[in-house]
Amino acid sequence: MTEPILEVSGLTKFFGAVAASDALTFAVERGSIHGLIGPNGAGKSTTIAQLSGELRPDAGRIRFAGTDISAWPVHRRAHAGLQRSYQITSLFPDFTAAENVALAVQARQGHSFRFLAPAREIPSLREPALAVLGRLGLAAKADVPASRLGHGEQRQLELAMVLATRPKMLLLDEPTAGMSRTESRRMMGILRPLKGKVTILLVEHDMDVVFALADAITVLVKGKAIVTGPPAEVRANEDVRRAYLG
């Protein structure tokens, strides 16, 4: 058994008297897709915010790739390869899909941002951007402004921007939020080939997506992990059925 890429131990976060994370402990295996599910208010978004560095835990430890990153700021975690996406798509609407991704490539390469030099004119930025767009099924939309893409395509573009930074691990917060059933299935088809290449912690409300993709699932209820295990084991767990799956 290889060392997990992410280890969360005793993670605790209070908001007033409410424990949004209550001694939370779980691990994510390298190269896997790990689902994080639970009812509204279970602490999923708080967990993601603490893992990404946006919230400082009150107690507990976060180890990433063998290093304690509990006190690291967001940018240091990102540079180490721990990236996240958000429920609300955040793009440059007037830039084309290729230009949006090229900016992510530029950030990865450590260049200064040269907004006055269009990304389309810089082969070292455009070529890898086009390659990532091709992986996500957006090659035909490379020169379309982000504002003219459909919602599902914008979510794909956001994922393309994250992948362009070559992360070791993705924290995906509701990647199918607001999508139609067809768009959700398309996103599943995009995420599945990433198994073994990029580790993914997947927070998702669509249980069909989670159980189809995840190698392991952690179920949160009131900030606590009540079970972690393979999808079939989690689906059959009586505590999970009572608390969440019904």
Nearest to 223 by CA among 72, 77, 15: 15
Summarize pLDDT for 92-129 with one digit per residue, the tens: 899 999 999 998 888 776 655 555 455 556 778 889 99
Mean pLDDT of 172-177: 88
Residue 60 pLDDT greater than 70, yes or no? yes
Structural contact between residues 221 and 243, judged by C-beta atoms closer than 8 angstroms: yes
Structural contact between residues 49 and 55, judged by C-beta atoms closer than 8 angstroms: yes
What's the pLDDT at 246?
A: 57
pTM higher than 0.85 = yes
What's the pLDDT at 113?
A: 52
Residue 245 pLDDT greater than 80, yes or no? no
**What gap in Å lies between CA 134 and CA 141, rounded to an integer?**
10
Q: Calculate ∠ Cα 201-53-99, nearest 5°.
A: 75
Distances (CA, A) of 99 to 6, 102, 105, 215: 32, 5, 10, 34
Q: Which residue has the tokens 């393979």?
A: 230
Q: Which residues pair with 12 in a beta bridge?
A: 59
Q: Which residue has the tokens 């605790």?
A: 12
Structural contact between residues 191 and 175, judged by C-beta atoms closer than 8 angstroms: yes
What's the pLDDT at 145?
A: 95
Q: Which residues pair with 219 in a beta bridge?
A: 37, 227
Top-confidence residue, 171 or 89: 171
Residue 47 pLDDT greater than 50, yes or no? yes
Quick one: what percent of the chain has pLDDT higher than 90? 63
What's the pLDDT at 116?
A: 41
Structural contact between residues 207 and 219, judged by C-beta atoms closer than 8 angstroms: no
Strand pairing class (33-37; 216-221): parallel
**What gap in Å lies between CA 204 and CA 214, rounded to an integer?**
11
Structural contact between residues 73 and 65, judged by C-beta atoms closer than 8 angstroms: no
